[in-house]
Structure 1
């Protein structure tokens, strides 16, 4: 019996990288996992099922309320509840580092729509189900860049700062319903998208590692322990918090 046996978890942005790692970890702890991405994450579904897990792979656009509502509805129809939401979907790995004056308004709006409004839409869609059961865990994903003021990605850093603020305010609004809302803030994590982006290589990665108390690259698996803590009953008296998991680059 895992810590999440009998629970139903939804993970957005689960097609690869950190999202896929989150989904597999939740399944290993006994949760039934509904995984979504712009295209249904079939590779992640296959990986979970290969280990005997129970999962549902769905296509969902977190910026589209109707799409998000359909994702939640299909999950509840299939598994009976929506106990855990991991708001992982975000634009990052494919972004190009650039000074803010070279960013277009359209690029800014796209990052905000996915990284901030997507969190809002998903939380709004699961609320009725969590409220009905009197219990729920919402885990948002911010970034250590919020506490550093990292340059050359103003839209991304701003969006993740908004996620921290959203986490705090949302926790106040839904605590009376038994819903906990917390946030993970990873450091630079070597996911597949990050490794494939030439901007995230060489001196930038080396400088990031040098800023850490623990001098190594971060891998998606480094985030699992914190994720499972925030999704399980172990953190039932904790809400509105942001936990930085970056090897000690940021300490706050």
Structure 2
């Protein structure tokens, strides 16, 4: 039996990068996966490339918009009746222009925080009734070890992900009475097919040199931890942050 057999899992930001990798693996592990993304065409392409005993479906979602989150919840209620897992992966990062924090505009700040911090809060809030229908629901918030690094040039991103880490702890406290687990998967630098113009070759080499494992992380390096957190092997694990960073930083 696969580890996520029979479970219904929502992955936000699943049209590319690590989100797409999560979705493909969850299908291989037997889950029914809802790929929720603003990029409907990209999500459909990922669905077409999945393979395994589970199944995948793409649905439109703007995580920063409550009405969009509510519409997704209504569709899932009518189609599947419950949600067993949520991976809050959608985030603004690759398109960020690095700059000193005093040069970040109000519009840039609001755009990043609306997706990276407001988004997970809205998604879980609107899916809560469906999560409560599961006998073992799990929420995985995707953080970032850029928070521990205090990485310069990304203050709005670091602030948002720092908020995600704190939100996980509070959500775990508030949702524990319903048997819903909430944890943070916190990656270090992960290199995907998504262009990232703000990371120079010199910066990449410096980060690799600082890791215990001197190789770049790929999306597949993250997905095993996500499967574990959603599975029955983690039924007593909640309110925790798991760093998957090749030894770049230590908690």
TM-score range, shorter chain: over 0.9
Partner of 2:24: 24
C-alpha displacement of 1:198: 2.3
Instruction: Give CA deviations for 1:164-195 in whole Å, capped at 9, x if unaligned.
Output: 000000000000100000011101100122xx
Residue 46 in structure 1 maps to residue 48 in structure 2: yes
Partner of 2:209: 210
Contact 1:32 1:79 in 2 (8 A): no
Partner of 2:140: 139
Q: Secondary structure at the match of 1:182?
A: strand
Contact 1:56 1:75 in 2 (8 A): no
In 1, the alpha carbon distance for the partners of 2:98 and 2:209 equals: 20
Contact 1:190 1:220 in 2 (8 A): yes
In 2, the alpha carbon distance for the partners of 1:201 and 1:45 equals: 32
C-alpha displacement of 1:51: 4.5
* TM, length-normalised to structure 2: 0.96
Instruction: Give CA deviations for 1:192-217 in whole Å, capped at 9, x if unaligned.
Output: 22xx2222230010011011000010
Q: Secondary structure at the match of 1:191?
A: coil
Partner of 1:228: 227
Partner of 2:12: 12
Contact 1:97 1:153 in 2 (8 A): yes
> Which ranges of structure 2 fall in alignment gaps of 5 or more residues?
none
Residue 155 in structure 1 maps to residue 160 in structure 2: no
Contact 2:63 2:69 in 1 (8 A): yes
Report how many aligned residue pairs link the two structures.
Answer: 249
C-alpha displacement of 1:39: 2.4
* TM, length-normalised to structure 1: 0.96
Partner of 2:106: 105
Q: Secondary structure at the match of 1:138?
A: strand
C-alpha displacement of 1:225: 1.1
Instruction: Give CA deviations for 1:75-107 in whole Å, capped at 9, x if unaligned.
Output: 232223211000000000111111111110110
In 2, the alpha carbon distance for the partners of 1:98 and 1:166 equals: 26
> Which ranges of structure 1 fall in alignment gaps of 5 or more residues?
none
In 2, the alpha carbon distance for the partners of 1:245 and 1:139 equals: 14
Q: Secondary structure at the match of 2:49?
A: helix
Instruction: Give CA deviations for 1:48-72 in whole Å, capped at 9, x if unaligned.
Output: 2x54641110111001111111112
**RMSD, aligned CA:** 1.2
Instruction: Give CA deviations for 1:109-161 in whole Å, capped at 9, x if unaligned.
Output: 11110000000001101111122334310000000111111111000001000
In 2, the alpha carbon distance for the partners of 1:63 and 1:103 equals: 20
